[in-house]
Amino acid sequence: MKTRPYEEPARNERTTEEVTPFGGRGLARRIGVRDSKPREIRFRDLHLVSGGARYRLRRRRQDSREVGRAVMRRACDQRLGDRSLPEPNLHECFAVSVRLRSDRRHCCSAGQPEAVRGNEARDLERSRSEVELFANSVPFVLWRSNPQGEIEYLNESWTTVTGLDRWSVLEGQRYNDVVHPDDIPALNETVSAAVASRTVTDLKVRVRQADGSYRWMQIYDNPAFSPLTGLVERFGGLSDVHNEVIAQEELIRVRAELEDSRRELINFTNSVPQILFRANRKAQVDFYNQRFTEVTGRDLHAVMAKQDWIEDFHPDDRPDYMANLERSFAAGEELNATFRLRHADGSYRWMSLLGRPVPIAEGSDDIRYYGGVTDIHEQVTAHQKVRELNETLERRVTERTAELMRTETRYAGLFHVSNMTFAETDFSAAYEFLDELKSNGVVDLREFLASHPKERERTLSLVTTRVNEALARLMGYASATELIAHWPTRNTEDGEEMLLRQLEMYYYKTDHMDGRTALLGKSGQRIPVYFNVSRLAEGVYLSSFVDLSEQERIEGLRRATQAELARANRVATVGALSASIAHELNQPITALLVEAQAGLRYIGRGDPDLDVLGRLLQRIDKTAQRAAGIVQRTRANIVAGRRAVKAIDICRLAEETHDLLEHDLKRSGVGLSIRCPQDSSLMVDGDPVELQQVFVNLVSNAADAMRDQPGPRHISIAIGCRDEAVRVSVSDTGPGIPEEHVERLFEPFFTTKPTGIGMGLQICRTAIEGMGGQLVVANLPEGGASFAFDLPVAFVEEGHARR
């Protein structure tokens, strides 16, 4: 709406107007009322026509004289345009009714003819239609609101957009119903603030469309002062900005993602354990990650400002690096370099740099180099050590090769020229078959070959043999070639067994084998030899042989001489054995004599007790049997016979010895106790006669040692099990054994007793050693002596010792 600038009327002019309609349309009538006193002005509708445009002021009630004057002056002074009547000074037809409230007067005036009024009405209607058409043609919702913010006009776009009838909305003032509920608080607050402050309303809200969906729309209205009404009215529009809002939200989201990506990229570049960089083709670095500062200790921004990164390179590496860089950058090629970089602690470490050219845009010649620097100090150091080791190994291999060549030369001379006998056997052709057997799970090679005779024969046929001249001469052949012509298994007594044992050396990964065998010479003579087989490289076995013919002849002579000496020794020891027999038989014969004399005395008393006499005869019988056993054992020793060995319950044998010696011990005032495990029997392998004789000798010697000792005299036999042996000790409470006699106690014919012959302990030690034990003696700290021996535990059929 176009309005004429506001003009102040003359101070003494008072204008009152009231619009009178004509035929449903109001034509403006002009009247001027001058009055010296101000009057109240009442407005109805005022229609002004100017240049075909129709202007309408709604009826107002306003107490403003200034506004009234301005309206009337505009009506009187403005020219309406070229299409008006010919007289330029009269362009309007109007009728005005004036009522001055002070004196209730009315004034009216009439003007132009009806024809003029008809033309102006048509122009006015045409102008109004054009304005209405314009308002309804724009692609926006347009409105006009009063100073209180109430919308008084909506164009047809409202109905198009919302699907609601505009007149119904205006009537009920329900235009906010189409606003999204979440946006109504902001809308009310913004509109209220704009109306109160007469400022522009600029707000985006979601408006429900005709299809029920919500779209973002821009509300914009502007307050305008109307000189016709003297009020501030608001004119505005509603435009669809949904795509812009969605695009803006997407832009915000993309920017947030970009910011997150930027932070993530910064975190990534600062977290990798390499120095990352970016540079142009002039080698000007414009990016380092934080790792650069961590490694070098220098501020990365200061380095990029000065571009003095080369200062961190080792001086010896700078020329080569710069030459490589200039060559790669000039050609736009990948940069790959290794150099030493100074670290924060001042040390230099080997680093590897890789930079790749990347165009800043597709098809652009302008490139940037992106790359990283990695610490490879440990790898370089390891490579240097490996290189040094390789050099050392190569030198040693060269030296070793030369030495092997010399050794091979010496070996060849030793093998062919030496008088030492050698045979070289090659089993490499059989290795593939042996490896296959192992991979198939064959554990016992000998058993497999025994059950597969064809495979055994084929495998042994793959063996090749080479011998030297010394071995050929030993076996009576004219040359090594003549010896090789004979199959190796025919050259020894156990030739096939020898080959199988060498196959087993490879199969079970053993490197050495030796032993005795006999070679079969050309004429069939037997040559005893000692052999030694060593596994060499590549399936070759070297066998050496030592002729034992002379040694076996000497050994035969030695064995014959030894047998003769043994016989002579047995004859020579008859005297000693006689003394031993006398010593061993002395005690049982004495016991027989005592028991027989006691029996005769008992019978001589008359009416003897047969039970007592029977026990006396039983003791005489046992003593006689023991004496007979001693004689039989002595005869066996003389004729070199084998003694019977059997499992002996040693605790029971000790008890029998106690019974045997009980009479003599009581007469000497000596007590004897035996300690054995109560819940088991201890079994040993041995000769029961010899073992009982050991008990008798040890107990008798102990009793003799305490014969002249005052006070209690006691002998104890302790039997127990220790590991896999039975431990027996015979201890006494006598004076002990002088230290100077301990080492000689077991010598033959050494004795400390006036009537002894010195054979008892020597016989005991011999007997114990014959049963796998050893007899020892020691003085006890509390006094007395202890004789002890260990015998292996006897194993019974169940497979464990019976204890």
pLDDT digits (tens, 9 = 90+) for 608-637: 777 877 887 888 888 888 777 777 666 665
- Which of the two residues, 484 and 312, has the higher pLDDT score? 312
pLDDT digits (tens, 9 = 90+) for 279-329: 998 999 999 999 999 999 999 999 999 999 999 999 999 999 999 999 999
- The pLDDT, as a whole number, for residue 456 is 87
Place of tokens 């392998």: 685
Tell me: domain 573-642, CATH 1.10.287, correct?
yes
Measured CA to CA in angstroms, residue 735 lies from 20, 708, 757 at distances of 169, 10, 21
Q: Percentage of residues in the chain with pLDDT exceeding 70?
A: 76
**Separation of alpha carbons 581 and 561, rounded Å:** 28
Global pTM reads 0.33
- Which of the two residues, 56 and 685, has the higher pLDDT score? 685
Q: Quick one: average pLDDT of 184-196?
A: 88
pLDDT of 13 above 80: no
- The pLDDT, as a whole number, for residue 636 is 63
Give the right CATH number for 138-240 from 2.60.40.150, 3.30.450.20, 3.30.420.40, 2.60.120.10. Answer: 3.30.450.20
pLDDT band for position 117 (50/70/90)? low
- The pLDDT, as a whole number, for residue 574 is 53
Q: Quick one: average pLDDT of 344-349?
A: 94
pLDDT of 42 above 90: no
- Domain(s) labelled CATH 1.10.287 in the chain stretch across 573-642
pLDDT digits (tens, 9 = 90+) for 542-580: 888 888 888 888 878 877 776 676 555 455 445 555 655
**Separation of alpha carbons 573 and 685, rounded Å:** 27
- 8 Å CB contact between 140 and 121: no
- 8 Å CB contact between 538 and 429: no
**Separation of alpha carbons 654 and 674, rounded Å:** 7
Q: What is the secondary structure of 332-384 as a DSSP string?
A: T--EEEEEEEE-TTS-EEEEEEEEEEEESSTT-S-EEEEEEEEE-HHHHHHHH
pLDDT band for position 411 (50/70/90)? low
Q: What 8-state DSSP symbol labels residue 713?
A: -
- Which of the two residues, 745 and 274, has the higher pLDDT score? 274
pLDDT band for position 338 (50/70/90)? very high
- The pLDDT, as a whole number, for residue 571 is 53
pLDDT of 77 above 50: no
- The pLDDT, as a whole number, for residue 80 is 36
- The pLDDT, as a whole number, for residue 497 is 84
Q: Tell me, which fold does domain 418-553 have in CATH?
A: Beta-Lactamase (3.30.450)
pLDDT band for position 83 (50/70/90)? very low
Would you tell me how many other CB atoms lie within 10 Å of the CB of residue 118? 11
pLDDT digits (tens, 9 = 90+) for 347-379: 999 999 999 999 988 877 789 999 999 999 999
Q: Quick one: average pLDDT of 101-119?
A: 48
Q: Of the candidates 324, 338, 317, which has an alpha carbon nearest to the alpha carbon of residue 380?
A: 338
Q: Where in 609-724 does DSSP place strands (E)?
A: 646-649, 671-675, 683-686, 714-722
Beta bridge partners of 714: 671
**Listed range (114-128, 246-260, 525-539, 676-690) with the worst mean pLDDT:** 114-128
Q: What 8-state DSSP symbol labels residue 177?
A: G
**Separation of alpha carbons 584 and 631, rounded Å:** 9
- The pLDDT, as a whole number, for residue 538 is 73
- 8 Å CB contact between 155 and 138: yes
pLDDT digits (tens, 9 = 90+) for 318-328: 999 999 999 99
Give the right CATH number for 644-803 from 3.40.630.30, 3.40.50.150, 3.30.565.10, 3.40.50.300. Answer: 3.30.565.10
- Domain(s) labelled CATH 3.30.565.10 in the chain stretch across 644-803
Place of tokens 């101000």: 38
**Separation of alpha carbons 257 and 700, rounded Å:** 111
Token pair, residue 123, equals: 């122009």
CB neighbours of 197 closer than 8 A, spacing ≥ 6?
Answer: none
- Domain(s) labelled CATH 3.30.450.20 in the chain stretch across 138-240, 272-375, 418-553
pLDDT of 490 above 70: no
Q: Quick one: average pLDDT of 459-467?
A: 81
Q: Percentage of residues in the chain with pLDDT exceeding 90?
A: 21
Token pair, residue 795, equals: 């194993």
How is the beta sheet containing 512-520 ordered, strand by strand?
464-467, 421-426, 540-547, 526-535, 512-520
Measured CA to CA in angstroms, residue 75 lies from 4, 79, 91, 627 at distances of 11, 9, 10, 178
**Separation of alpha carbons 491 and 665, rounded Å:** 72
How is the beta sheet containing 231-240 ordered, strand by strand?
151-154, 141-145, 231-240, 214-226, 201-208
- The pLDDT, as a whole number, for residue 629 is 75
- The pLDDT, as a whole number, for residue 376 is 93
Q: Quick one: average pLDDT of 583-592?
A: 74
Is 456 strand, coil or helix? helix
Measured CA to CA in angstroms, residue 39 lies from 96, 300, 742 at distances of 16, 85, 165
Q: Quick one: average pLDDT of 401-418?
A: 62
- The pLDDT, as a whole number, for residue 170 is 86
**Mean pLDDT over the full length of the chain:** 77
pLDDT of 27 above 50: no
Tell me: domain 272-375, CATH 1.10.10.10, correct?
no
